[in-house]
Amino acid sequence: MNLLTILLQQQGGGMSMIIMMVAIFAIMYFFMIRPQNKKQKEIQKFRNSIVPGTDVVTAGGIYGKVKEVNELDNTLMVEIASGVKIKIAKNSVYAGVPTDTAAGK
């Protein structure tokens, strides 16, 4: 009888362990994975909406204005100073320049 009681208690413990693992995964999904996916979608939406004249910031922290968009090879021509243009990959653009920073230029 004692052996049967021990086996039943262990099965109940296993079920609570599974429930705990599911709860931990759910918490991780809603607090870590979902917001990151949402942020990535916003960045991709911004990258797809870039047109000449858009102020951008690259992954390296370079501020500039888009002069040309080349969809074929997924690159941008960005002017970082008067007459200074650089060619960058579209995926290296992370954000538009905030309006308060653009006004201070």
Residue partners of 70: CB distance under 8 A and separation at least 6:
76, 77
Provide the residue-wise pLDDT of the chain in tens; the chain has 105 residues: 565 566 555 555 567 778 888 889 999 888 999 999 999 899 889 888 899 999 999 988 899 999 999 999 999 999 999 999 999 999 999 877 766 554 445
Give the per-residue pLDDT at 103: 45
Listed by start position, the domains of the chain span 1-49, 51-103
Fold of 51-103: SH3 type barrels. (2.30.30)
Cα angle, residue 13 at apex, residues 9 and 15 outer, rounded to 5°:
120
